Every structure is written in structure tokens, then in C-alpha cells.
Structure 1
């Protein structure tokens, strides 16, 4: 059985790889990307930015709120509980948006799943 630490490490590696590809794409001109390549890129983004991000963000929000009972939390800006709950709410809202991203990327993949391409060599 895979531990949570191993899962988080694997998710982080996947996230870093996807970020690297995204940075490379962002710094160059818009490349010509045939559907099979886009399909794989979208799969990586869907898994790292969409569904995985929702799960990770939900756990982060829960962990933040649980920390209020586990630690003597201080907050120079005001009420630690109110601020942690507010932050958790924002994180959970971001998790919901990440889920929507995952759903939209699923739909994008479905739209191009059967596409291929021919090169001048084929």
C-alpha cells in the first residue's frame, strides 16, 4: 500500500513536470501541437491541476482547521480561528474550481481522443 507521503511526493513530481512543460510552452511562440500530443499534455494538466489539486487542497484546508486543536495557534492579525476558517473556505473554493478544471479538461480530451496526424514521412 502506498503511504500518504509517497503519494504526495509522486503528486509533487508530476506537478513539477507539468509546470516545466507549461513554462516551456509559455516562453515560446504558440507551437503547432497535434491532437495526440495535446491529449497527453491535457491528461497531465488534468491530473496535476484538476483532480489531484482538488484532493490536495481539500486536505490542506482540513489540516489547517485541525491545527487549531493541535497547536497553540497565535495570529498577529486577529482571531486565529476566524482567520484559519476563512483561509480554509478560500482553499475549499479553489478546490471546487480545480475540480471544474478537471471536468473541462476531461471534455477537451474526449473531443480529440480519436484524432491522429500524418507527417510528411507517412
Structure 2
């Protein structure tokens, strides 16, 4: 019986989804030093549904007039998107990315990786 409890516990931990969870308005290090916010996404209940499991990780960059903030969180609905724009009220805009792999909400986009790869290729080509 003890073996069964340990086995089920290991399966539950192995299937858990980790994401970076922070908000730069309350935690300024969420912008660049977000690795310390690596947490297991909890199962939540909301919208009349109970025990909703996370489906991915999300990072949202919000711009309000001249100020910006970053929110890294677990996603409970939606699908993988990269840099999707969402306009709010006057002076408010959001750009978010969602991914389904563990701790994939670091940069918010594969664009940074692509840009770095192109710059390195250009450097090697002309250097």
C-alpha cells in the first residue's frame, strides 16, 4: 500500500506544470531575474468549474500610457500563441505569449531567440 501512495505521488509531481509566476508591479525582479519565481502551477476553481488544471504558461507585457509591466503566470485556458496583441481602453495595450511547455514563459517570445540567431549569423558572415 505504501508503494502505491509513493507511486501516485510521483506521477502527480511528474505531471505538474511549472511556470514563472510574478508581477513586475509588485516584484521588480520579475523583469530580468524571474528564475527565482519558478513555481508549480496550482489546480484552480473558477467560473463555475472545479479543479481546472493549467494548460500552459503565459507572459503578458502591458503598456499603460508611458508605463509598462510584465506578468508571468500559469494559463488555464487558451492555446499556444506568440506575441498576440490585445488592445484595452484608451492608452492601454497588451502583448502576450502562451506556451505549453514547463517554464516557457521567460522571454515571452521566440522572437528574441530568432533575432539573436540572425545577428550571430550576420556577425560570422561579415567578421
Give TM class, smaller chain.
under 0.3
Structure with greater contact order relative to length (CA < 8 Å, sep ≥ 6): 1
User: Which protein has the bigger helix share?
Assistant: 1
Q: TM-score, normalised by structure 1?
A: 0.25
Structure 1 or 2, whichever has the larger Rg, is 1
User: Which protein has the bigger strand share?
Assistant: 2
